[in-house]
Amino acid sequence: MPRLRIGDIELHYEITGKGQPILLIHGLGSGARDWEMQVPFLSKNFQVVTVDVRGHGQSDKPTGPYSIPLFAADTVELIRSLDIAPVHIIGISMGGMIAFQVAVDAPEMVKSLVIVNSGPEFVLRSPRDIIRGLQRLLIVRLFGMRKMGEALSKRLFPKEEHRELRQLFVERWAENDRPAYINSMRAIVGWSVADRLGEIDCPTLVIAADQDYTPVSLKEAYVAKMPQAELVVIADSRHATPVEHPEKFNEVLMEFLSKQV
């Protein structure tokens, strides 16, 4: 089980395949294994690195506070230690936020970006947003990770044919360390690099599910502020696009990456 000492913690990572390096960064409450439909596909042509972010999976789960800049600093040190810069970075949800932060803090580390169902900020502006955030926090505190996983699974995988995906999601979600998950939630809220988008001049692909938590129009707005960004929308998809529609997602991903080699 490869582990790398990064400052005061050890991060779990895995490397598969050969070629130009790609780093896959998972979302909140997820882990490296949730890229299992991408790693075999990408590793045919690339060296694929997956990592469990601090507080997740098989990586250490120190006490907080956590922050997106801290996650990004861990990621930069991982890239440096593995000597894989510049690297193609693919991040979903919170992983996309980490990717944005790395791109503005250490642009020399990034060859290209793929941002999946994410954005350059997570600011709760409306009463509805605040209520949703508090609801998630309360469910976790009062009922635990499994109950949170059950609630989320119905939104992420609502169809009858998604039954096995829902079950797998709940089982994996229940494995989360509750304090680390709460610390990671707090790390996201209020974070923003929206005023620095113009600094990101590497080729960037934004993949958006048409039924993601946030509307496609928000992705269109921030893509327009980036010098080399393009947007692809995947239809009939929700927040967990790489799991829900792996074939289509992989196709879109490879079309972009093949142009960056």
pLDDT profile of the chain (261 residues), mean per 10? 91 98 98 97 98 98 96 98 98 98 98 98 85 82 93 96 97 97 95 98 98 96 98 98 98 97 77
pLDDT at position 131 is 80
Distance CA 70, CA 59 (A): 14
CA gyration radius, the chain: 17
- The pTM of the full predicted model, rounded to 2 decimals, is 0.97
Q: Are 237 and 245 in contact (CB under 8 A)?
A: yes
Return the percentage of the chain with pLDDT > 90, whole number. Answer: 90
pLDDT at position 9 is 96
Q: Smallest Cα–Cα separation from 114: which of 14, 214, 203?
A: 203
Q: Are 35 and 50 in contact (CB under 8 A)?
A: yes
Distance CA 72, CA 246 (A): 26
Averaged confidence pLDDT in the chain: 96
Tell how strand 21-25 and strand 87-92 pair up: parallel
Indicate the SS3 state at residue 57: coil
Indicate the SS3 state at residue 207: strand
Tell me: domain 3-122+195-257, CATH 1.10.530.10, correct? Answer: no
pLDDT at position 23 is 98
